[in-house]
Amino acid sequence: MEQKLLSIYNSFLKKHGYQGWWPTNSMGAILTQNTSWKNVEKAINSLKENNLSSPKKILDAPIDMLAETIKSSGYYNQKAKKLKKFAKFFLENENKTPSRDSLLEIWGIGKETADSILLYAYKQPYFVIDNYTKRIFNKFLNLNIEPYDEWQNLFHKSLQKDYKIFNEFHALIVAEGKTQRYR
């Protein structure tokens, strides 16, 4: 399986080039839930324009103002609450890398979001399993895997456990998913 995954990685790298990707802090992982990156970028820009781009400012902001600011990301009332919960957690744990379990205890943080935070914000080797990953690898490898953990185990067992590799591979998967239709 390792060779198949590395072959796909190299194919995507040749096609899309180096991505060096994750243009925001861990708050972006919450904003990406159930929406496109284009809408997340709008929400991130709106947070910056409204001087709400730090956990402290998010925690201090009125919930209705925060929700309005991130409206483009969809589910903005729920996401505003999630951002506040995560900002509180972040500020209470500012000088240490959180465990996956501690992130999963935060309301509104599931496995994909926790792994995104760990991989991109804390540079921890957790492979992010999103819908692009499932669709693309079902097609290329004819896999019939459902549970998140089984998908993640496939990547963790088959690739060197290195956050740089996981980061770049996931970014390439997103680039591929944005340009191709996989069902």
Give the percent of the chain with pLDDT over 70: 97
Say how far apart CA 170 and CA 86 lie, in whole Å: 23
Label residue 75 left, alpha or beta by phi (over 0 means left) and psi (-120 to 50 means alpha). left
pLDDT at 28: 84
Listed ranges 23-27, 78-82, 132-136; the one with the highest mean pLDDT: 78-82
CATH H-level superfamily of 27-121: Hypothetical protein; domain 2 (1.10.340.30)
Say how far apart CA 132 and CA 1 lie, in whole Å: 19
Four-residue CA torsion sign, 95, 96, 97, 100: negative
- The per-residue pLDDT for 115 is 96
Tell me the one-letter amino acid at 33.
Answer: Q
Q: Tens digit of pLDDT for each residue in 108-118?
A: 999 999 999 99
Q: What are all long-range contacts of 120-124, with beta carbons under 8 Å and residues at least 24 apart? A: 120/22, 120/26, 120/28, 120/29, 120/167, 121/25, 121/26, 121/29, 122/26, 122/97, 122/98, 123/163, 123/167, 124/97, 124/163
Per-residue pLDDT reduced to its tens digit, 58-75: 999 999 999 999 999 999
**47 within 8 A of 69, measured Cβ to Cβ:** yes
pTM for this model (two decimals) = 0.89
pLDDT tens sequence across 8-40: 999 999 999 999 876 556 788 899 899 887 898
Q: How confident is the model at residue 182 (pLDDT cuts 50, 70, 90)?
A: low
Report, in angstroms and rounded to the nearest whole number, the Rg of the chain calculated over CA atoms: 17
- Comparing 86-95, 107-116, 154-163, 172-181, the range with the smallest average pLDDT is 172-181
Tokens of 144: 């019939």
| Cβ neighbours, 10 Å, residue 88 | 14
